[in-house]
Amino acid sequence: MTAIGSGSRRRLGRFALLASGIAGTALDVVPAAPGERPWTDGSTIFADAGASAAGQVAAVAVQASLIAAGSLEPGIAGRLTGRPGLARRYLAIEGHRALAAGENLLPRPVRLLIDRDVAMRAGSPAASLAAALGRAPLPDLPPSFGVIRPGRLLAARSRREAPTPDVDPFSRRHHSESSRDEEAEEGDVGPVLPLLATSVGGRGALGWLLRRVLRAGPEPAGGGPLGAGAPATPRMTRRDGRGTIVATRAAVAGETAAAARGRGTTYPEWDLNRERYRPDWCTVHETEAQPADGAALAIPDGRALRQPLARLGMGLGRCRRQMQGDEVDIDAAVQAHADALAGAPRDEAVYIDSLRRRRELAVLVLLDISGSSAERGEGDRTVHEQQRAAAAMLTAALHRLGDRVALYGFWSQGRSAVHLVRVKSFDDDLDTLALRRLAGLVPGAFTRMGAAIRHGASILEQRGGTSRRLLVVMSDGLAYDHGYERRYGEADTRRALAEARRRGTGCLCLSVGSGADPVALPRTFGTAAHTSVARPEQLGAVIGPLSRAALRSAERGTA
């Protein structure tokens, strides 16, 4: 029995990448209980191990499409709880609508399941629910659609979103910290994360330690408030559920001095405690990175990423003399008629079609250079070194494909001192100077991620110059700053990503080499496409489907 169960799990596990690509977030696929129809709890899809391969693919695609389309959100699940008949009627409509919404990502056999007439009945999950509450007859539910289990959906979501209990920093000490430090010195930092480890990977390190002294320095004489020139000691130490964070008086002094200078761009911040925005709360300063002394980083080839990204930025163009299309090409039709009158073979390519033939994509890569990235990651390199290499690979691949691409780093020291460091703008070439700037980035300070994301999305909208936009955030997922801790910072980051998607910017969040906690990443990045990989070389396997899902999510957000 164990051998059979293990084999079923392996066979179904191969569909995890397909499910993750369709849903836009990492999913696992495991066998359902005997006799149980396919269903999902939002992070795992339970499929029938005894079904045919085609049936399993269809079931996985349906459940992943429901997640991607927002069909299983708590507001909907709450209305369906305890009402199995309504859940079946809702699925009979919403299943077709969700499949149609992501049709371009579905395998060809799955597309045949779509009932266009039913899919056209509703334009949103709420509209599908309203139609299900009516009495109009509906077609039979295909077996591959499975079922919706609203009670289990809500319970699983509650478990995922449950906050980690606060730990009194002075009431207990963790015995495992010393042994973990010894392992880190030997280079043993835990198991390598598998691909798409957002939901199924190994645990990340339990502690984050900012080892660098914060960047705030003394202000010029008379140029700042009393205490702004104080040294970086004494220091205050806070410990949260993920480890130790070292803060200093310099963080508060730097925040006050930056506000006094009155420069930068202000943005609101989402206050989780009051459930409302704080207007003009954060100030972002955009600066240029200083090139590193000596040789620049080698220009990465990016070949492994070019193929999965090749069709990502294709824009629609009107192509004449096509075999099929939306309208008749008058010139081609006249020529074909003249050829027929002359006895020549008739050319049937007499249509104009809209095809994706031209590059139409702007990408901004936002690299987290806060102090937590200085920690040793997977392997012998630090998280910063691995995420910097991944950013260089991605930027080089997009640049060679002809897309407009920019690269910025970000760090913060309080709400008035959020810094975006320009490595390469949209109009810069990817040359030796840009790579020397990238090599010169040094990790330090904190991570007020929401403000950095808002400014990055604003740069994309104002300077990207294309209709399709993608914001790529490379970070370990630790949103932390003065007054920006734990659930507050995570909620503001999620809100900033949702704001960008609603304005038509796709958001993709990548954690590279950090050993990030797979439970913590969804708390920070929410429903944005995100994943964690152990090494930069593994990006090629996930970058294509996740990027497409991010762009598709942005297109739905502006619909």
DSSP string for residues in 273-300: TTTEEEEEEEEEEEEEPPPPSSSPPP--
User: What mean pLDDT do residues 440-468 have?
Assistant: 94
User: What mean pLDDT do residues 471-490 have?
Assistant: 93
Position 355 confidence tier, pLDDT thresholds 50, 70, 90: low
Mean pLDDT of all residues belonging to the chain: 78
Is residue 202's pLDDT more than 50? Answer: no
User: What mean pLDDT do residues 515-527 have?
Assistant: 82
Enter the pTM of the model.
0.52
Q: Which residue has the higher pLDDT, 450 or 520?
A: 450
- Indicate the length of the chain as a whole number: 559
- State yes or no: cis peptide before 74, omega within 30 of 0: no
Among 198-212, 254-268, 372-386, 491-505, top mean pLDDT goes to 491-505
Q: How much is the pLDDT for 412?
A: 95
User: What mean pLDDT do residues 310-338 have?
Assistant: 75
Q: What is the 3-state secondary structure (H, E, C) of 504-537?
A: CEEEEEEEECCCCCCCHHHHHHCCCEEEEECCHH
- Distance (Å, rounded) from C-alpha 284 to C-alpha 415? 8
Q: How much is the pLDDT for 356?
A: 52
Position 530 confidence tier, pLDDT thresholds 50, 70, 90: very high
Lateral strand order in the sheet of 276-288: 265-271, 276-288, 418-424, 404-412, 362-368, 469-474, 505-512, 529-533
Contact 222, 228 (CB under 8 A): no
Position 350 confidence tier, pLDDT thresholds 50, 70, 90: confident
Is residue 175's pLDDT more than 90? Answer: no
Is residue 489's pLDDT more than 70? Answer: yes
Is residue 224's pLDDT more than 50? Answer: no
Query: What ranges do the domains of the chain cover?
Result: 2-161, 207-283, 286-310+360-557, 314-358
Is residue 96's pLDDT more than 50? Answer: yes
Position 342 confidence tier, pLDDT thresholds 50, 70, 90: confident
Question: Residue 371 is which amino acid?
Answer: G
User: Helix, strand, or coil here: 269?
Assistant: strand
Strands 362-368 and 469-474: parallel
Q: Which residue has the higher pLDDT, 329 or 395?
A: 395
Taking residue 357's Cβ as centre, other Cβ atoms within 10 Å add up to 12
User: What mean pLDDT do residues 48-65 have?
Assistant: 93
pLDDT one-digit tens code per residue, 75-94:
899 899 889 999 999 999 99
Q: How far is CA 413 from CA 215, 296, 385, 497, 521, in A?
A: 8, 28, 22, 21, 22
Q: Which two tokens stand for residue 173?
A: 């000490």
Q: How much is the pLDDT for 511?
A: 93
Q: How much is the pLDDT for 162?
A: 61
Query: b or e along 221-245 (b: 16 or more beta carbons within 10 Å of the residue's beta carbon)?
Result: eeebeeebbeebeeeeeebbebbeb
Counting DSSP H helices and E strands in the chain, the numbers are: 20, 16
Q: Which two tokens stand for residue 58?
A: 């269809």
Question: Residue 106 is which amino acid?
Answer: L
Contacts of 337 (CB under 8 A, 6+ apart): none
Is residue 17's pLDDT more than 90? Answer: no
Position 362 confidence tier, pLDDT thresholds 50, 70, 90: very high
Among residues 6, 42, 29, the alpha carbon closest in space to that of 526 is found at 42
Q: Which residue has the higher pLDDT, 336 or 479?
A: 479
Is residue 166's pLDDT more than 60? Answer: no
pLDDT one-digit tens code per residue, 226-259:
233 333 333 333 333 333 333 333 343 444 444 4
Torsion of CA 29, 32, 38, 42, to 10 degrees: -50
Is residue 29's pLDDT more than 50? Answer: yes
Position 121 confidence tier, pLDDT thresholds 50, 70, 90: confident
Residue range 286-310+360-557, CATH number:
3.40.50.410
pLDDT one-digit tens code per residue, 135-150:
888 888 999 999 999 9
Cβ burial of 27 (10 Å; 0-12, 13-18, 19+) is: buried
Q: How much is the pLDDT for 11?
A: 85
User: What mean pLDDT do residues 384-401 have?
Assistant: 93
| 121-125, 205-209, 266-270, 549-553: least confident range | 205-209
Looking up tokens 């066998």 gives 31
Q: How much is the pLDDT for 200?
A: 34
Q: How much is the pLDDT for 192?
A: 28
Contacts of 34 (CB under 8 A, 6+ apart): none
